[in-house]
Chain A
Amino acid sequence: MNRFHHADDSTLMAHAAGALPEGLSLVLTAHLETCQRCRERVMDAEQLGGSMLSELVPDNVSVDSLDHIWDRIDKSECLEEENPPVGNVAGLPAVLAKYFPDGLDNVHWRMVAPGIRQSIINQVSSERGTVRLFSIAPGTTIPHHSHGGTELTLVLRGSYSDEIGRFGSGDLADLDDSVSHQPVADTSEPCICLIATDERLRFTGMFSRLFQPLVGL
């Protein structure tokens, strides 16, 4: 496993800074759940954030700020923390459970091309890109394309291969406009992956450009 199977440091930093578009951070977090290497780097980047917070020029706070805070604390003492944990869904990272509550076997798919199905997560914004789940039938190839911005791909089931390498469950591909690739599902089961972009993809070649409106990427 090389660095291409993990998030780029610049992506991890943006996440820690709170500057990663929502869709990319969803896919990254799903990867972080099982990746110690990337989690530690996020913590380092958060330590940088802590240092930068400490370094800020203090603003004035009025004397009654602390009193207001004590009031809020005393009033909320009996309140439970918000966000009750969502139940786990087998085979899915916890952060994805609420988007696919019935698991990967019961996704509402839409066919986009022979061998390729997708399910878009509409609730999550991602600049000019999207977040979607793809299911690629064994042997099927996604036409050759490059990326206008960043594309994060997390394999959830099966695997695929492209010019960069082979990606299996839990692996993350963090690609940008410098990379052009042609992934192919390379086992006997469909490859299911979650893909977030912050820009539209750039398909290369005549067939691929015909493919673009179909996929809507």
Chain B
Amino acid sequence: MIRLPPGRVRCQYPQHKSSRMNQLSVEKIIEFDDTEPSAEVLSGWLVAVGSHQDRQSFSRLFEFFAPRIKTYMQRLGADSALAEDLMQETMVKIWRKASTYDPARAVPSAWIFRIARNLRIDKIRRQKFYEVEYDQESSILPDERDSDPIGTSRMDAMHVTAHMKALPADQLAVIHLAYYEGLSHSEICTRLELPLGTVKSRLRLAFGKLREAMGAQS
């Protein structure tokens, strides 16, 4: 993935069907610092939003995540206008749900990813995303909860990414198709002309390596 150096202005609008709106907004592009803040910094912002509705911290989260959430939505099938709308909706949800964020249970990027993913499934795929709710999670098996402080012992997004880049190309490819294109196993089989068993074993192998790198016990 090509990334621009930090601080570089991107004033080229991507190649969408250029609507009048796009033409008009070409000059009004915000310049962002591209450097990824550490998980601790991101976590601090999220907690500040949750505990005392800190608008400054929210703006910082917006600067880092909003342009990426917009890319995410577009890669998963939204056009530019819908992606902008879903990005805004994701940010609103982040604001509203920030008080439920528990830094001991999830790194900020994972928590935000969940919100973006659920909205994407709801609005682009028009399906329901089933998940165990956080408050429900904490009420289940309380004796087992203390065994693994998720998040605190796990690594920054950057480190996971570094390990991901070390994966063999064929394993990386199936991960990309699942996460960045939202393809189901059978759709990946069709796309890559591979049997189901091969697709599943590539995902399994990649996940095993990443979990090991993340310090998980198997």
Q: Render B28-44 as a binary contact track against A, CB cut-off 8 A, 1 for contact.
A: 11101010100000000
In the bound complex, CA of A85 to CA of B131 (Å): 13
The SS class assigned to the B binding surface is: helix
What class of interface size applies to chain B in its complex with A? Answer: 35 or more
Q: Is the CB of B130 within 8 A of A62?
A: no
- Mark contacts of A7-18 with chain B using CB atoms, 8 A cut-off: 1 yes-contact digit, 0 otherwise: 011101110011
- Indicate if A20 sits at the interface (CB-CB under 8 A): yes
- Can you name the residue of chain A whose Cβ is closest to the Cβ of B206? A13
Is A187 close to B, CB under 8 A? no
Q: Which of B67, B144, B187, B197 contacts A178 (CB 8 A)?
A: B197
Known: A61-B84, A68-B88. A54 touches B109 (CB 8 A): yes
Query: Nearest chain B CB to A20's CB is how many angstroms away?
Result: 7
Report A37-67 residues with CB < 8 Å from chain B CB.
39-41, 43-66
CB of B196 closer than 8 Å to a CB of A? yes
- Chain A residue at minimal CB-CB distance from B160: A51
**Are A125 and B127 in contact, CB atoms less than 8 angstroms apart?**
yes
Contact present for A150 and B185 (CB under 8 Å): yes
Complex CA gap A36/B144 in Å reads 8
* Cβ B3 vs Cβ A50 within 8 A: no
Q: Which of B2, B113, B127, B182 has the largest count of A CB atoms less than 10 A from its CB?
A: B113
- Is A60 a contact of B132 with CB atoms below 8 Å? no
* Contact indicator B110/A9 (Cβ below 8 Å): no
Least Cβ–Cβ distance between B97 and chain A, in angstroms: 8
In contact, B84 and A65 (Cβ under 8 angstroms): yes
- Quick one: which of B107-123 are within 8 Å of A by CB? 107-114, 116-118, 120-121
CB contacts (< 8 Å) of B195 on chain A: these are 177
B87 located at the interface, meaning its Cβ lies under 8 Å from any Cβ of chain A in the complex: yes
Chain A residue contacts of B179, Cβ below 8 A: 17, 19, 48-49, 52
Other A-B pairs beyond A46-B113, A66-B66, A125-B127, 13, CB < 8 Å: A13-B178, A25-B129, A29-B131, A36-B141, A40-B150, A44-B210, A47-B109, A50-B107, A52-B180, A56-B68, A59-B14, A76-B92, A198-B185
Interface set of A (CB-CB < 8 Å, partner B):
8-10, 12-14, 17-22, 25-26, 28-29, 32-34, 36, 39-41, 43-66, 68-70, 72-73, 76, 81, 85, 94-95, 124-125, 127, 149-150, 176-178, 198-199
- A sample of 26 inter-chain contacts (CB < 8 A) reads A9-B204, A9-B207, A13-B175, A17-B117, A17-B182, A18-B118, A36-B141, A45-B207, A46-B110, A47-B214, A49-B110, A50-B110, A52-B180, A53-B69, A53-B116, A59-B70, A60-B10, A60-B29, A63-B29, A65-B62, A66-B59, A72-B89, A72-B92, A125-B127, A176-B196, A176-B200
Write the residues of chain B forming the contact surface with A, with a CB cutoff of 8 angstroms: 1-4, 10-11, 13-14, 25, 28-30, 32, 34, 36, 55, 59, 62, 64-72, 74-75, 83-84, 87-89, 91-92, 95-96, 105-114, 116-118, 120-121, 125, 127-133, 136-137, 140-141, 144, 148, 150, 154, 157-158, 160-161, 164, 175, 178-180, 182-187, 195-197, 199-201, 203-204, 207-208, 210-211, 214, 216
